Chain A
Amino acid sequence: MDELKYNFAYLDEQTKKTIRRAILKGLSIPGYQVPFSSREMPMPYGWGTGGIQVTSSCIKQDDTLKVIDQGSDDTTNAVSIRNFFKRVTNVQTTEDTNKATIIQTRHRIPEIPLVEKQILVYQVPTPEPFRFLEPSEFETRKIHALKEYGIMHLKLYEDISKNGHISTSYNYPVLVDDNYISAPSPIPKFDNPKMNNNPAIQLFGAGREQRIYAIPPYTKVISLDFEDYPFEATKANAVCQLCGATDSYLDEIIIDNAGGRMFVCSDTNYCHNNLLKKIYNP
């Protein structure tokens, strides 16, 4: 097997060890961004190098890996990351959320509730939730250290004043364990409630920014809001036109040159399972 001239999961053992240490630190201080020295990976930043390094450091021979991008198992990004791990680990891969032990994701949390012993690895472009308000890393660290979190509400205030409601719909800021404000990565706010009290381990890797953070199982995660403008986990007000699901997050896709559109589940595995159920138990 000349493919296996790489170490298992590509990274060398020493590197994995240091990344695991960062992960453990992250799990001990939920929501806190732990710096780590991100390695060069055989793909550019922006392709999930942070998530890949986290997955590499956690994955074992007997794991079953699922990779999704925007909820889908078969987009280019998901396929190439899955193939990468197949090559460098030989572990089993799956599209089935239930069968996966590690799920690496970009932009979604699966619709099927996760369970204990599963690990959800998020690819994170911008780990610092205050970055758009405060460009200086020195200042944002101070914001976290001193818990000067009022300015996140200032952002929501501006949102409501401009648009009449909280218009932030992706990467909606959360308070983890009543302590750190964190970026959930660019998942739709529809997924935010799934982060709360989740039995699975949630790990966040940002390659370019060299940060890892984590949410241990069964941790309180709340989405910031105002008493009179409560958080709402919104989605398109429609049903999936393939499987008929009413409870899943929908993508609107264009289906012909005439601008025809349809709503379909963004979570392809969820949609697929619904269809199978319909076929076998009509």
Chain B
Amino acid sequence: MNMNEIIKITNLTKSFGNIIACSSITLEVYPGEIVGIVGESGSGKTTLLKCASGLYKPDSGEVFFRSDDNYVQNICNISEPDLRQLMRTDWSFIHQNPRDGLRMNISAGGNIGEKLMAIGNRHYGNIREAAAAWLEKVEIDSSRIDELPSNFSGGMQQRLQIARCLITEPKLIYMDEPTGGLDVSVQAKILDLIKKLVEELNIAAVIVTHDLGVVRLLADRVLVMKDGHIVEQGITDQVLDDPHHAYTQLLVSSIIQV
């Protein structure tokens, strides 16, 4: 199968009992592109992300992922070892709560270096050097490499998680409210950092948020979800400046314009 997209979701439906969390969702993401998903609580954003990353099996529909060598796999019926291999190498998931994405009893350096060891790096010095370099990249002093994550502030823990996820230079990252638990000034810095790294490494990203400001800052394209449906999508500035769907108009009008 030939495709240019890095990920291609077609007609994806996922329900929980009577609740249709995602209804017939179609979505493509191209290499290096940042796609924002916005919508109110319960609209199905997290469910979509989990289906796209293989954490949930959808009821119907397909999720195709293209690796570096143009090898296309259907995430919906991939074997668990293959899925885990993709998670280690091709994509990463940045959780809202850094505690969900970090090992709290392992040093900062160990957290960052783990993926390198998982893919077979067996040189301590190289692993440590890479971890230190990544600490600096996410603006944490590398002298803190041996400290436990619990010594770090919430914002620093989130930076640590970002470093841990990006060290293997994945082609795609999924982020679910990556700045959700942080206060506004810290949020802004983390968003700048994500923007910088994603551009530098040319990573595609799917970022879920209910904050239109985040979307405005980061996303090339935006999808608006409501009740499990995509009600509107397009270039971020177009959608935010000239929303067509009534629900998007409501969302946009409810935030202070900058």
Q: Which A residues are closer than 8 A to B by beta carbons?
A: 146-148, 150-151, 153-154, 157-158, 160-162, 225-229
Q: List 23 A-B contacts (CB under 8 A).
A: A146-B84, A148-B84, A150-B117, A150-B118, A150-B120, A151-B114, A151-B117, A153-B117, A154-B103, A154-B114, A157-B110, A157-B117, A157-B127, A158-B106, A158-B107, A160-B124, A161-B107, A161-B109, A161-B110, A162-B146, A225-B122, A226-B122, A227-B124
For residue B119, CB closer than 8 A to chain A, the reply is yes
Residues of B within 8 Å of A158, CB to CB, are 106-107, 110
Q: Which B residues are closer than 8 A to A by beta carbons?
A: 80-81, 84, 103, 106-107, 109-110, 113-115, 117-120, 122-125, 127-128, 145-146
The answer to whether B123 and A154 have CB atoms under 8 Å apart is no
Which chain B residue has the least Cβ–Cβ distance from A162?
Answer: B146
A226-B123 contact, Cβ under 8 Å, with A150-B117, A153-B117, A161-B128: yes
The answer to whether A227 and B84 have CB atoms under 8 Å apart is no
CA distance A150 to B113 in the complex (A): 10
CA distance A225 to B84 in the complex (A): 24
CA distance A148 to B114 in the complex (A): 11
Residues of B within 8 Å of A157, CB to CB, are 109-110, 113, 117, 124, 127-128
Nearest-Cβ distance from residue B144 to partner chain A, whole angstroms: 12
The answer to whether A228 and B146 have CB atoms under 8 Å apart is no
The answer to whether A228 and B125 have CB atoms under 8 Å apart is yes
Given A151-B117, A154-B117, 6 extra CB contacts under 8 A: A153-B117, A157-B109, A157-B113, A161-B109, A226-B124, A229-B124
Nearest-Cβ distance from residue B149 to partner chain A, whole angstroms: 13
CA distance A73 to B165 in the complex (A): 53
Nearest-Cβ distance from residue B120 to partner chain A, whole angstroms: 8
The answer to whether A150 and B127 have CB atoms under 8 Å apart is no
Q: Which of A154, A160, A225, A228 contacts B106 (CB 8 A)?
A: A154
- Among A146, A151, A161, A225, find the residue whose CB has the most chain B CB atoms closer than 10 A: A161
Residues of B within 8 Å of A225, CB to CB, are 122
CA distance A228 to B124 in the complex (A): 6
CA distance A146 to B109 in the complex (A): 24
CA distance A154 to B118 in the complex (A): 9
Residues of A within 8 Å of B110, CB to CB, are 154, 157-158, 161
Residues of B within 8 Å of A148, CB to CB, are 84, 118
CA distance A212 to B80 in the complex (A): 27
Nearest-Cβ distance from residue A211 to partner chain B, whole angstroms: 23
- Among A153, A160, A227, A229, find the residue whose CB has the most chain B CB atoms closer than 10 A: A153
Q: Which 8 A-B pairs have the closest CB atoms?
A: A150-B118, A226-B124, A150-B117, A153-B117, A227-B123, A228-B125, A146-B81, A228-B124
- Among B107, B120, B122, find the residue whose CB has the most chain A CB atoms closer than 10 A: B122
Residues of A within 8 Å of B114, CB to CB, are 150-151, 154
CA distance A77 to B109 in the complex (A): 43
The answer to whether B113 and A154 have CB atoms under 8 Å apart is yes
Residues of B within 8 Å of A229, CB to CB, are 124
CA distance A188 to B70 in the complex (A): 49
CA distance A241 to B84 in the complex (A): 54
Nearest-Cβ distance from residue B102 to partner chain A, whole angstroms: 12
Residues of A within 8 Å of B117, CB to CB, are 150-151, 153-154, 157
Nearest-Cβ distance from residue B133 to partner chain A, whole angstroms: 16
Which chain B residue has the least Cβ–Cβ distance from A166?
Answer: B124
The answer to whether A153 and B106 have CB atoms under 8 Å apart is no
Nearest-Cβ distance from residue A151 to partner chain B, whole angstroms: 7
- Among A147, A154, A160, A225, find the residue whose CB has the most chain B CB atoms closer than 10 A: A154
Which chain B residue has the least Cβ–Cβ distance from A157?
Answer: B110
Residues of B within 8 Å of A150, CB to CB, are 114-115, 117-120
Nearest-Cβ distance from residue B161 to partner chain A, whole angstroms: 16
Which chain A residue has the least Cβ–Cβ distance from B79?
Answer: A146
Nearest-Cβ distance from residue B160 to partner chain A, whole angstroms: 15
Residues of A within 8 Å of B123, CB to CB, are 226-228
Which chain B residue has the least Cβ–Cβ distance from A160?
Answer: B124
Nearest-Cβ distance from residue B41 to partner chain A, whole angstroms: 31
CA distance A153 to B109 in the complex (A): 13
CA distance A91 to B165 in the complex (A): 60
